[in-house]
């Protein structure tokens, strides 16, 4: 056991700043990473940190700079979706419709509905099946586009404004990020395929997708948030120590992604609104994941900062600038830019 600095911070809310007190606690340090301390913060401190990072990320995500950045993957995804729809939508509808006609129990239902004037339900069902099948692919592509195109400018913005003095140990790399993302994505797709039958059974249809997307989101975004600043042992320790908090944040982002899914299905159902609703749904997916990237960046870098303080890094070496706490002050006139 060695005495190390422990950061005991109290946040008084937006505009009121922080009260910070550094105390020495007996902690166990292994390989440069704090493993355990005899004193811990109250349990509600974890939720306070999550909510603090949430509202900071939400404010940042509404700034013009972030909104403009989300247009970059939007253009690529919209062009890709339109090209695929032009070449494959009609053949896919024909194939699914032919497959539906081989299901006698569905045909009995369509016959019953046709007696009441509902003659287009077979086409509607085929369109819904295609839309629900394509949705996971669209979510994955949106997440990957944000990870590979936006994670660096979003991370640099947060680090420059709030953590300008944090040492960059570069425990991650572009190749490592690509491999980590692809590995997590393959695991997620495998789980999606195995659990797909449960998607049609209440309440699993409402619970499984957000939890699965939440796992993928936290894995990808937490890695990107820490790749530049944390060493490999630091990143692994943060993943171990805050796994449930990070997964919970990913689940929230997954539930937020359900709203674009409804717009996407509506656009697939309404041919007249396809050109408008589908790009809107794709942009919302992109914005939600950009917000998620900012959320994980604020939370992850703050956790890294506190862990380094606990390892004995003095406060003058690891400063945190609260650029959102008082945006009206002259020195923070541009603080809302991430």
pLDDT in tens, 20-56: 444 444 455 555 554 445 444 444 578 899 999 999 9
Q: What percent of the chain is predicted at pLDDT more than 70? A: 67
3-state SS assignment for residue 24? strand
Whether residue 203 lies inside any domain: the answer is yes
pLDDT digits (tens, 9 = 90+) for 57-99: 999 999 999 998 888 887 887 788 778 877 887 888 788 877 7
3-state SS assignment for residue 27? strand
**Number of domains within the chain:** 1
Whether residue 316 lies inside any domain: the answer is yes
**Cα separation, 250 vs 90, whole angstroms:** 35
Q: In the structure encoding, which two tokens stand for residue 312, read together?
A: 């004995």
- What pLDDT shows up at residue 145? 81
Whether residue 50 lies inside any domain: the answer is yes
- What pLDDT shows up at residue 50? 94
Whether residue 219 lies inside any domain: the answer is yes
Whether residue 291 lies inside any domain: the answer is yes
* pLDDT > 90? residue 277: no
Yes or no: say if 131 and 194 are a contact pair by the CB < 8 Å rule. Answer: no
Mean pLDDT, rounded, for 289-316: 87
Angstrom distances, CA of residue 74 to CA of 89, 220, 281, 303, 338: 20, 19, 10, 31, 20
Strand ordering across the sheet containing 33-37: 2-11, 18-30, 33-37
pLDDT digits (tens, 9 = 90+) for 145-158: 887 888 889 999 89
Whether residue 325 lies inside any domain: the answer is no
Whether residue 19 lies inside any domain: the answer is no
What domain range is 288 assigned to?
A: 45-320
* pLDDT band at residue 193 under the 50/70/90 scheme: confident
Neighbours of 71 (CB within 10 A): 12
Whether residue 104 lies inside any domain: the answer is yes
């Amino acid at each position: 056991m060695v005495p190390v600095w422990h950061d005991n911070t109290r946040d008084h809310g937006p505009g009121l700043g922080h009260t910070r007190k550094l105390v020495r606690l007996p902690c166990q340090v292994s390989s440069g990473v704090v493993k355990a301390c005899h004193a811990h913060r109250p349990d509600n401190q974890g939720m306070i940190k999550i909510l603090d990072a949430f509202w900071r990320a939400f404010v940042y995500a509404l700034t013009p700079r972030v909104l403009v950045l989300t247009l970059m993957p939007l253009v690529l995804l919209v062009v890709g979706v339109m090209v695929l729809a032009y070449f494959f939508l009609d053949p896919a509808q024909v194939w699914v419709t032919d497959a539906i006609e081989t299901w006698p129990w569905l045909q009995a239902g369509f016959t019953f509905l046709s007696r009441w004037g509902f003659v287009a339900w077979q086409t509607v069902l085929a369109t819904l099946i295609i839309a629900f099948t394509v949705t996971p692919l669209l979510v994955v592509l949106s997440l990957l586009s944000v990870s590979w195109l936006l994670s660096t400018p979003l991370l640099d913005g947060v680090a420059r404004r709030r953590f300008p003095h944090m040492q960059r140990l570069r425990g991650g790399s572009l190749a490592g990020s690509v491999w980590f993302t692809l590995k997590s994505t393959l695991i997620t797709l495998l789980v999606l395929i195995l659990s797909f039958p449960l998607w049609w059974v209440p309440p699993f249809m409402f619970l499984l997708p957000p939890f699965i997307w939440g796992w993928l989101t936290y894995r990808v975004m937490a890695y990107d948030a820490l790749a530049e600043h944390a060493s490999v042992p630091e990143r692994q320790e943060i993943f171990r120590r805050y796994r449930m908090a990070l997964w919970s944040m990913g689940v929230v982002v997954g539930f937020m992604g359900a709203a674009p899914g409804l717009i996407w299905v509506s656009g697939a159902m309404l041919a007249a609104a396809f050109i408008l609703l589908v790009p809107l749904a794709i942009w919302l997916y992109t914005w939600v994941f950009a917000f998620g990237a900012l959320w994980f960046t604020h939370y992850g870098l703050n956790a890294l900062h506190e862990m380094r303080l606990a390892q004995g890094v003095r406060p003058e070496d690891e400063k945190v600038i609260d650029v959102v706490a008082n945006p009206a002050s002259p020195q923070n006139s541009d603080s809302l830019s991430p």
